[in-house]
Structure 1
Amino acid sequence: MSESTTIRPLRAAEVSTWDQQADVVIAGYGIAGVCAAIEAARAGADVLILERTGGWGGAASMAGGFIYLGGGTPLQQALGFEDTPENMETFMLAAFGPGVDKAKIADYSRGSVEHYNWLVDCGVPFREAFWGEPGWEPPHDEGLMYSGGENSAPFNTLAVPAPRGHVPQMANKRTGAKGGGYMLMKPLVETAESLGVRVEYDIRIGRLVVDDDRVVGLTARRYGKEIAIRADRGVVLATGSFAYQKEMIEGYAPRLIGRPAAAIEEHDGIGIRLAHALGAQLAHMDATEVAFMADPQLMARGIVVNGRGQRYITEDTYPGRIGQATLIQQDNQSYLVIDEQSYEKALTTETATPFFRQPPTWVAETSAELEAEMGLPTRALQSTIEVYNLHAEQGRDPLLGKKPEWLRPLRGPLAAFDMRGFTAGFTLGGLRTDLDSRVLHVSGEPIAGLYAAGRCTSGLCAGGYASGASLGDGSFYGRRAGLAVAASSPSADRSSIQTHVRN
């Protein structure tokens, strides 16, 4: 049987027996799912989470743990940083586009401080310490960091820079294995389960079940056996991105073909496909975040050039922004050029990603020799270095706007790193939802009984990105989904639904 057939919605009249039942059924036990569960349970709903793996966490528990929050959170204030919802909104509109959902950006910015307080009330710890060095994440347990290029060009001229990367405190972090995301998820899971939220593991969702135009449950498989689960108030999809679904990547986000997915293999787009088969709108399906496997301390002190030896982005910005520019605008062609003094200085700094600090690919005494070693056109790199040095001597970068603190002429022996193909990414597009996390039909109307949050939706980001936007978006609108589904009326007329539930 083809996949297009198996994911089609199932009519409730075809379900002879419901194996399980709850007011609210949530697919996925990552950040969006757990926050939806907490709010639904606190609102008095009986909540059941279906998780396809053997444990909670999803991609969130493996992430660095950034949650993008601002507008004047207590942590920002305690560390002396001023921010307002309006300032946060200005940055996000500029950095997360093009085509961002303006209503969501405004909504998220205005609700950010309350969301921070909610996380703290659930037991998520944040240490009052700021990490101000370039990097992918703090190397220790600092709670706040710039995580989106807010203090770099061009954004530092559009909005007052404020760090918004909030990181849960955790000792003995292991980047990519057990990072700050674990300490985000753990207290939230404990909160959910203390509220009586039920969880079924090792279960894969299969089809949505509908009665007329309303979603009333879903089918799933466990160890090869198909089961049906009734959702009296609604279903919440929190199933992650489609980064590991080959056909969807080829059809929607072809720039990521062949790029390692910075996600988990369970992100196969199942929630998106099930809702789309019911007529749900999709948005920004080509949008991607791009990780760049390079050391930010090195990049800030050198120059990043493309396959023609030309600079194309300010080197002191958010490294994910460098990754996007490299993959999308420069055909994945990139080199880092740095001199000996700056190289040695960078190696004295602390980093959370020491594995990005590899020996240079080429070394040379002059820019002409380095250019020849790299195989670049004659005078291409030399001209770039000459122009860069000319302005760096004056402490400015009129071409791209690198901050003066990172500007110094490149002198003496030079080194270059071959960073072609140093990108990996995950998808940002998905189901279109409203501010209550209701999944929208192509008609523009909400699909009754169906909610979604997290990376299976098109959330705050429509192309641009900042670290923490996914966990922030997923937790914030996961909460909205839980509140909205718990407040919805149970299916009043279930005459066509077999109401018998197997004991």
Structure 2
Amino acid sequence: MSESVPGCTEVDVLTDVVVVGFGCAGGAAALEARAAGASVVVLERASGAGGSSAQSGGELYLGGGTAVQEALGFEDDAANMLAFLRAALGPHPDEEKLRLYCDGSVEHFDWFRGLGIEFEKSLYDAPSWMPPTTDGLMWLGENAWPYDELARPVPRGHRPATGGFGGWLVMDRLVAACASAGVVTATDTRAVSLVVESGRVVGVRARRFGEDVTYRARRGVVVTTGGFADNPEMLAAHAPDLLGHGVVSDGGDDGSGIVMAQAVGAAVRRMSVVEVAYTALPALACRGMLVNARGERFINEDVYPGLYSHAALHEPGPCWVVVDAQALEEVGEADLWGTVPSYAAETIEELEADLGMPRGALAHTLAGYNAGAADGGDPVFHKSPRWTRVLTGPFAAIDPRIGFHNPTHRAAPGATGFAGFTLGGLHTTVDGSVLSLGGAPIPGLYAAGRASSGMHGQGYISGTSLGDGTFFGRRAGRAAAQSR
């Protein structure tokens, strides 16, 4: 690692552990470090805690036999959870982190309960980005092909008991717990660089209200500043798949913590890995066909919607959700998210022409789809029989580029329908130690959350970001507190 970063000549604040960034990972790290007996200061450049975590849906991917799962009659264990996540987060997830996460999932659920986060003992039993209910459990592709053949299908999407987006509630309880535990938070404080002495990270230089402030950490610094979706230069260098698309963030995911650690010799990992979300409504997609610009299906529409989002990203676009009148009538208004058809036609041939598809292409796709549905299945993509039936006119097509709750019902110029965030970051051990380019831990430096490369390989499932951010944030905070 670099030895050239100057040490502390003046110390404004002395503490045991400094955490940089107060999202879910930072809050978890701070709380765990405090529980281990360390004094803790959290630096947050915004005027309040929360970050992108507070703006998230709040889903937590937990399993292995949680109280909610058991109350609803679902039998689960760590091995079954691991079998699903190994495939869903793959290829090439971090096996050691993944196994630890699955083994510790029930305890982690109980930790959230200890923060005062409640989960209703009810199931939302349909594909969704985020159910319009307060149900405490939801499916996230565990019961869709091919995952239903790789692991016993069990729902694991745990949702805090609040309507709509629940990330604010997770952060509200985490912030309150940190304050109660005696964690000190310095808001409006932007970390600028790490301080290194004799090869060890011993502090952080920051700016606060136009003044330079140095925070000395006797035991360790934990970087939890989020990913780099808001940094076009870093995206161009590492994750160009997100360029030109929307961003899922609070506007502050600029990779600053990653760059700050790289300046002292830190290694990064899986920087090209991203998650994308496509505004193709799961409630409609599962009841119809998701097709590309050539009128072809390319995936089973009842999968976790992030999976068909990744697939659609690499298809010739634009893509369309094609349904019939019955499908539209089956979906309640709350689950439509303000979605309305862009085109409607009595026959599939008319709809095909409206969409500018090759003549006969969409009609051929529908004929094959309906032939399978008439026999009770989907022989090409294996969509569940629950969602597979013969589609009959009139037909409608929904344009995902328009987005949800768009009062104009028209796509904005340049809109793609995709938005995403990054999953790569600093290379860490299971206890959050940041590794150098040579593979050795950098003394005194830890990271968690989207500033680090967590348990994900190439895949993602909702709830695994808040889940692994808090789980490995806790481990990083504990390790930093115990460092000498």
Q: Which of the five TM-score ranges fits, normalised by the shorter chain?
A: over 0.9
Q: Residue 5 of structure 2 aligns with which residue? A: 11
Q: CA deviation at 1:10?
A: 6.3
Unmatched segments (≥5 aa) in structure 1: 1-7, 490-503
- CA separation in 2, counterparts of 1:362 and 1:9? 63
Question: Given that residues 332 and 423 in structure 1 are in contact (C-alpha distance below 8 angstroms), is that contact kept between their aligned partners in structure 2?
Answer: no
Question: Given that residues 55 and 249 in structure 2 are in contact (C-alpha distance below 8 angstroms), is that contact kept between their aligned partners in structure 1?
Answer: no
2:62 corresponds to 1:69: yes
Question: Given that residues 428 and 453 in structure 2 are in contact (C-alpha distance below 8 angstroms), is that contact kept between their aligned partners in structure 1?
Answer: yes
Q: CA deviation at 1:165?
A: 0.8
- CA separation in 2, counterparts of 1:92 and 1:383? 35
Structure-2 change in CA distance of 1:138 and 1:370 (3 Å): closer
Q: Give the aligned residue type for 2:474.
A: R
2:229 corresponds to 1:236: no
Q: Residue 388 of structure 2 aligns with which residue? A: 407
- CA separation in 2, counterparts of 1:260 and 1:204? 25
Q: Residue 231 of structure 2 aligns with which residue? A: 245
2:81 corresponds to 1:93: no
2:103 corresponds to 1:117: no
> What per-residue deviation string (whole Å, max 9, x for no partner) do you get for residues 326-377 of structure 1?
11x215531111111222222x3642x623x12x122222112211111111
Query: SS of 1:248's equivalent?
Result: helix
Question: Given that residues 29 and 51 in structure 1 are in contact (C-alpha distance below 8 angstroms), is that contact kept between their aligned partners in structure 2?
Answer: yes
Q: How does 1:349-360 map to 2 (within 5 A)?
A: 350-351=334-335, 354-355=337-338, 357-358=339-340, 360=341
Query: SS of 1:266's equivalent?
Result: coil
Q: CA deviation at 1:198?
A: 0.5
Aligned match of 1:222 in 208, 216, 222? Answer: 208
2:157 corresponds to 1:165: yes
Q: Residue 345 of structure 1 aligns with which residue? A: 330
Q: Give the aligned residue type for 1:418.
A: D
Q: CA deviation at 1:119?
A: 1.5
RMSD, aligned α-carbons: 1.5
Question: Given that residues 5 and 264 in structure 2 are in contact (C-alpha distance below 8 angstroms), is that contact kept between their aligned partners in structure 1?
Answer: no
2:126 corresponds to 1:141: no
> What per-residue deviation string (whole Å, max 9, x for no partner) do you get for residues 195-253 of structure 1?
11101000111111101211000111112222211111010001011010110011111
Q: Residue 191 of structure 1 aligns with which residue? A: 177
2:63 corresponds to 1:80: no
Q: Residue 27 of structure 1 aligns with which residue? A: 20
TM-score, normalising length: structure 2: 0.94
- CA separation in 2, counterparts of 1:11 and 1:315? 52
Q: CA deviation at 1:9?
A: 8.0
- CA separation in 1, counterparts of 2:333 and 2:72? 22
Q: CA deviation at 1:23?
A: 0.2
- CA separation in 2, counterparts of 1:331 and 1:228? 52
- CA separation in 1, counterparts of 2:87 and 2:348? 36
- CA separation in 1, counterparts of 2:317 and 2:224? 31
Q: CA deviation at 1:24?
A: 0.1
Query: SS of 2:286's equivalent?
Result: helix
2:342 corresponds to 1:361: yes
- CA separation in 2, counterparts of 1:332 and 1:228? 51
Q: CA deviation at 1:294?
A: 2.5
Question: Given that residues 10 and 207 in structure 1 are in contact (C-alpha distance below 8 angstroms), is that contact kept between their aligned partners in structure 2?
Answer: no
2:437 corresponds to 1:442: yes
Question: Given that residues 220 and 226 in structure 1 are in contact (C-alpha distance below 8 angstroms), is that contact kept between their aligned partners in structure 2?
Answer: yes
Structure-2 change in CA distance of 1:9 and 1:455 (3 Å): farther
Question: Given that residues 303 and 338 in structure 1 are in contact (C-alpha distance below 8 angstroms), is that contact kept between their aligned partners in structure 2?
Answer: yes
> What per-residue deviation string (whole Å, max 9, x for no partner) do you get for residues 401-460 of structure 1?
100011111112111123352111111111111111111112111111000010111112
- CA separation in 2, counterparts of 1:397 and 1:304? 14
Q: Residue 496 of structure 1 aligns with which residue? A: none
Runs of 4+ deviating beyond 4 Å:
none
Q: Residue 295 of structure 1 aligns with which residue? A: 281
Q: Residue 255 of structure 1 aligns with which residue? A: 241
Q: Give the aligned residue type for 1:354.
A: W
> What per-residue deviation string (whole Å, max 9, x for no partner) do you get for residues 142-169 of structure 1?
111112x111111111111111111111
Aligned match of 1:469 in 455, 464, 472? Answer: 464
Unmatched segments (≥5 aa) in structure 2: 402-415
- CA separation in 1, counterparts of 2:83 and 2:266? 30
Q: Give the aligned residue type for 2:58.
A: G
- CA separation in 2, counterparts of 1:57 and 1:9? 34
Structure-2 change in CA distance of 1:332 and 1:116 (3 Å): farther
TM-score, normalising length: structure 1: 0.91
Aligned match of 2:146 in 136, 150, 154? Answer: 154
Question: Given that residues 5 and 196 in structure 2 are in contact (C-alpha distance below 8 angstroms), is that contact kept between their aligned partners in structure 1?
Answer: yes
Query: SS of 1:301's equivalent?
Result: coil
- CA separation in 2, counterparts of 1:326 and 1:129? 32
Q: CA deviation at 1:263?
A: 1.1
Q: Residue 322 of structure 1 aligns with which residue? A: 308
Moved more, 160-169 or 417-426: 417-426
Q: CA deviation at 1:389?
A: 0.5
- CA separation in 1, counterparts of 2:122 and 2:20? 36
Question: Given that residues 61 and 182 in structure 1 are in contact (C-alpha distance below 8 angstroms), is that contact kept between their aligned partners in structure 2?
Answer: yes
- CA separation in 2, counterparts of 1:55 and 1:411? 52
2:425 corresponds to 1:430: yes
Q: CA deviation at 1:283?
A: 1.3
- CA separation in 1, counterparts of 2:440 and 2:473? 20
Q: Give the aligned residue type for 1:151.
A: N
> What per-residue deviation string (whole Å, max 9, x for no partner) do you get for residues 53-72 of structure 1?
11111111111110111111
Q: Give the aligned residue type for 2:10.
A: T
Aligned match of 1:304 in 267, 290, 307? Answer: 290
Question: Given that residues 24 and 233 in structure 1 are in contact (C-alpha distance below 8 angstroms), is that contact kept between their aligned partners in structure 2?
Answer: yes
Question: Given that residues 10 and 208 in structure 1 are in contact (C-alpha distance below 8 angstroms), is that contact kept between their aligned partners in structure 2?
Answer: no
Q: CA deviation at 1:11?
A: 3.1
How many pairs does the alignment contain?
Answer: 469
Q: Residue 52 of structure 2 aligns with which residue? A: 59
User: What percentage of aligned pairs have identical amino acids?
Assistant: 46
2:366 corresponds to 1:373: no
